[in-house]
Amino acid sequence: RKEVEQDPGPFNVPEGATVAFNCTYSNSASQSFFWYRQDCRKEPKLLMSVYSSGNEDGRFTAQLNRASQYISLLIRDSKLSDSATYLCVVTSYSGAGSYQLTFGKGTKLSVIP
């Protein structure tokens, strides 16, 4: 079983649509959770952290369910500029004060005019 699994995608949605991404992780000792955005041939950039209480940043809402080891990202009112690959990222403690990121394969989103 892969450590971090995401929807395979791609998601092709019209502008203004609401789209949801799901992610599951296998390591129950995982500490922190993030969604990153990666544009084509660019480095990943942090989109938002994910908390059990849920958090919202504008059109983006992230949710964590530790019991189910499940993370979600909801994007409302999709914009053309939201087109990118969204990476689910989980961290775990790797010893000596260091944390290791494990990336999902990513879900590609294309927002269509």
Partner 1 sequence: GAVVSQHPSRVICKSGTSVKIECRSLDFQATTMFWYRQFPKKSLMLMATSNEGSKATYEQGVEKDKFLINHASLTLSTLTVTSAHPEDSSFYICSARALADSTDTQYFGPGTRLTVL
Residues forming the site for partner 1 (CB under 8 A): 4, 31-32, 41-46, 87, 91, 94, 96, 98-106
Beta bridge partners of 34: 49, 89
Q: To the nearest whole angstrom, how small is the minimum distance from the Cβ of residue 48 to partner 1?
A: 12
Question: Of 70 and 99, which has the nearer Cβ to partner 1?
Answer: 99
Task: Residue 23: name the closest of 14, 34, 15 by CA.
Answer: 34
Q: To the nearest whole angstrom, how small is the minimum distance from the Cβ of residue 77 to partner 1?
A: 26
Q: To the nearest whole angstrom, how small is the minimum distance from the Cβ of residue 97 to partner 1?
A: 8
Cβ contacts of residue 42 below 8 Å, gap of 6+?
none
